[in-house]
Amino acid sequence: MALKKRRIEELLTITERLNHMKDIDALLDLILLEARKFTCAEAGSIFLREDNFLKFSYVQNDALARIDETNNKYIYSIFEIEINESSLAGYVAKTGEALVIPDVYKLKNASYRFNRDFDELAHYRTQSVLTVPLMTSRGVVIGVMQIINKKLNDKVVPFTKEDLKLVNFFASNASVAIEKARMTREIILRMIKMTELRDPKETGNHVNRVGSYAIEIYDRWAKQHHLPEKDIRAYKDTLRIAAMLHDVGKVAVSDVILKKPAKLTPTEFQVIQAHPVYGARLFSDSVSDWDTLSAEVSLNHHEKWDGTGYPGHVKDIYADPVVLGPGKRGEEIPISGRIVALADVYDALISRRVYKEPWSEERVLDHIRSEKGKHFDPEVVDAFFAIYDVIRAIRMKYSDEEKA
């Protein structure tokens, strides 16, 4: 009884943490991690509902992570599941009923089945599964959480009724936090749309990619520096949103300059060089870590490791006109700016723009290697290449091209 009470108290503490998280992806990561801890599960997935489909939104798998520490959570991101009674997740989303299955490969006399394609793709064997709906207080299913392979003494065992009660309790609280985080993401994307009206390259997909690249590069960099896991997760929660807003300062730049089809004059380019300062001004009345980091990213994402970037050391960001300073150099540039600099340049070069065709992947990667120690922090470049399969998967998830 004491153990049960302690587990419930721990759940309440965790759900309080969930309500303070801002970024939807960081939130899903924490939800899945904690649900797996409570059930001793090796793996799991969260699907979020979009119309009549479920989209893989987050995936964790400890077994695969032991083989490949990047544990590419984007591996399934191109897949979607129709909400009907033919699949496990689809059935739960359709009916609102949870499922507890000892071995999904031995299903009999059920309308739903387990799709083995996912196991074959990941070279994994799913066995015991606990699948619960993510349901709002209004009874609307917004997604599904699936916990996979409960392990005791290195052996896969079935989930218990107690596991189901705890996960259902956790899921109901998590659903509230997910709704709030999705609203925050929508507000951010609307801000991006305002920028897009001024600068056509600042699209929702572009900023989603840059935000995702940034947190994955940071994750590798931070682990190489042996930072505590708790601190890494907290920083990533704010970094993604800050990275998404890196160019919001362009709203203060004239359309005549932003949309000019010809080469900019030196005077016009000076105006462009001021946009990081305009962006930092938007977040200067800091009331949260998110404001502080957003200002930092905006102000520093065009600085270069060798000191040739802009806007440099600006004495007063409120002075008009903006007076550029000498470029920041090396570790004078915050790690957030060094990471977003690489993420932004990579995406700009490899993507199609109204004014250019995409560079080939080989050409882009050669360029990044050649700029190591010049434009880019060498350690950030190393982290980027260490997780390049994840970078590719993110690019596919937020592709500008229509999916087949």
**Catalytically active residues, by annotation:** 250
- 125 backbone φψ class: left, alpha, beta (φ>0; ψ -120 to 50): beta
The total of other beta-carbon atoms located within 10 Å of residue 19's CB is: 13
Torsion on CA atoms 10, 172, 126, 34, rounded to nearest 10: -20
Contacts of 219 (CB under 8 A, 6+ apart): 232, 236, 387
Q: Which residues pair with 143 in a beta bridge?
A: 48, 134
Please state, in angstroms and as integers, the Cα–Cα distance from residue 240 to each residue in 53, 152, 315, 336, following that order.
25, 36, 27, 10
Find how far residue 376's CA is from the centre of its chain: 22
d(CA 305, CA 382): 14
Contacts of 265 (CB under 8 A, 6+ apart): none
Pairing outcome for strands 155-157 and 141-152: antiparallel
d(CA 208, CA 24): 12
d(CA 139, CA 328): 53
Would you call 348 helix, strand, or coil by DSSP? helix
Place of tokens 């059935």: 91
d(CA 93, CA 148): 17
d(CA 34, CA 200): 40
Instruction: Calculate Rg over the CA atoms of the chain.
Output: 23
Judging by beta carbons within 10 Å of its beta carbon (0-12, 13-18, 19+), is residue 297 exposed, middle or buried? buried
Instruction: Return the closest-CA partner of residue 245 out of 204, 284, 217, 216.
Output: 204
